[in-house]
Amino acid sequence: MDATPASSSTSAVDKKKPVVIITIGMAGAGKSTFVQQICSYLHSQNPPSPPYVLNLDPAVVNVPFEANIDIRDTVDYHEVMKQYNLGPNGGILTALNLFTTKFDQVLELVEKRADSVDYVILDTPGQIEIFTWSASGAIITDAIASSLPTVVAYVIDTPRTVAPATFMSNMLYACSILYKTKLPFILVFNKTDVQSHDFALEWMHDFEAFQMALASHQGTTDEDGEPTYMNSLMNSMSLVLDEFYKHLKAVGVSSVTGAGVKEFFEAVEASREEYEKEYIPELARVRAQREETLRQTKEESMSRVMKDLAIDRERNPEAALHDRWDQEDEEEDDVEDADIIDRSEEPWPGQYIDLTQTRRRADEGMSWPRPT
Ligand SMILES: Nc1nc2c(ncn2[C@@H]2O[C@H](COP(=O)(O)OP(=O)(O)O)[C@@H](O)[C@H]2O)c(=O)[nH]1
Ligand SMILES: [Mg+2]
């Protein structure tokens, strides 16, 4: 973009917007350990660049990093489980939903710090689907990504993806998240201190290498020596995924030793540009389209109503005279509604939930927002 002389003279002192890093990955892939490692890397920079960190996992017992905003300060997930008769996953999901109702405040806090930090880091719940397939996860991701440059760091447990089938299912999952969020995407092959990620890079760059690995893996042929259905399926899918791999960056890291973290931040910087070049124009396009559709729908239904009214009046001028609001009927309805509400004074599913109800005691010290 062409900068005007006035803005280019100030651009040297203008601080870049911070980049938001959303960590996503299967349970146990090492998201929280990774967040801890990248935080300590940023602290050890010269000058130090402390990030702004959000923990969104309500069920974690020990957070290995210092979180500026912690979901556990707002929602007690054990209490949510008890109050709504939920199991652990339902409890975590509901806790995240409750937290999301207040996400505008979170965003305000983050935006307030945007001038003083270089990175905002989100750690998500252990179970991947709670964040990736819930309305809350989508709301949080969209809200933050429309406000600041955002990248997804998809953390992979490298030692557990050495089998071609596991590798493939992990990549398909990553693919689904990429197409859902449309955000710049970094594959973080974690735990390289245990298992090098070279095999993964090879499979990504050369689908024939993947197909060979697949063929040599046990259980890929049936008794007659023919490839199994699963094998043929994965063979074809490796061709499809080839296109997907072109849109990603991949780095290998060890969240224990810190190896590869520097390369990860290089990928983040490159993603910032990608966000500005691709995500922002796409966001503007989608917004404009949504507004246009909304306007058209409104216009159409309005003109339909007007037309129907005109026809009605024309056909039956007598009835049109009596077509008025009946005050008495309306009042009776109100009484019935009130009865339904009176049935239960306890919270019931679907009721608007006051966040303060999830506290165990008023004096427990859970407060919102948390002082930073
Ligand atoms: N060897 C090794 N272990 C790791 C690494 N990263 C995480 N872990 C271990 O993997 C387990 C799960 O990590 P955690 O961060 O809790 O995973 P999360 O569920 O994705 O947040 C823990 O026992 C970590 O110590 C790594 O880079 N190398
Ligand atoms: Mg975790």
In a domain, 361, yes or no: no
In a domain, 215, yes or no: yes
Residue 30 in contact with ligand 1 by CB distance below 6 A: yes
In a domain, 291, yes or no: no
Q: Which of 255, 257, 261 to mutate to test the pocket of ligand 1 (most atoms within 8 A of CB)?
A: 255
In a domain, 3, yes or no: no
Nearest alpha carbon, ligand 1 atom 7: 30
Distance, CA 354 to ligand 2 centroid (Å)?
27
Looking at residue 344, its pLDDT comes to 41
Number of domains the chain contains: 1
In a domain, 336, yes or no: no
Looking at residue 339, its pLDDT comes to 37
- Give 36's Cβ-side CA count (13 Å radius): 12
- Give 48's Cβ-side CA count (13 Å radius): 7
Task: Provide the residue type at 15 as one letter.
Answer: K
Report the chain's C-alpha Rg in angstroms.
27
Distance, CA 21 to ligand 2 centroid (Å)?
15
In a domain, 74, yes or no: yes
Nearest alpha carbon, ligand 1 atom 2: 191
Sequence-ordered list of residues with C-beta below 8 angstroms from that of 127, at least 6 positions apart, any chain: 27, 89, 92
In a domain, 8, yes or no: no
Maximal C-alpha separation, the chain:
85
Distance, CA 98 to ligand 1 centroid (Å)?
28
List the domain range (segments joined by +) for residue 111: 19-228+235-285
Distance, CA 268 to ligand 1 centroid (Å)?
21
CA distance 228 to 207: 19
In a domain, 358, yes or no: no
Where residue 281 sits, what CATH number does that domain have?
3.40.50.300
Written as tens digits, the pLDDT of the chain (372 aa) is 444 444 444 444 467 899 999 999 999 999 999 999 999 999 999 999 999 999 999 999 999 999 999 999 999 999 999 999 999 999 999 999 999 999 999 999 999 999 999 999 999 998 999 999 999 999 999 999 999 999 999 999 999 999 998 999 999 999 999 989 999 999 999 999 999 999 999 999 998 899 889 888 766 667 777 777 888 888 888 888 888 888 889 999 999 999 999 999 999 999 999 999 989 898 899 889 999 999 999 999 999 998 888 888 888 877 777 766 666 655 555 444 433 344 344 444 444 445 555 544 555 555 444 444
Looking at residue 345, its pLDDT comes to 45
- Give 360's Cβ-side CA count (13 Å radius): 10
SS3 at position 165: helix
Write phi, then psi, for 215 (nearest 5 degrees).
-65, -35
Exposed (0-12), middle (13-18) or buried (19+): which is 174, by Cβ within 10 Å?
buried
Nearest alpha carbon, ligand 1 atom 17: 30
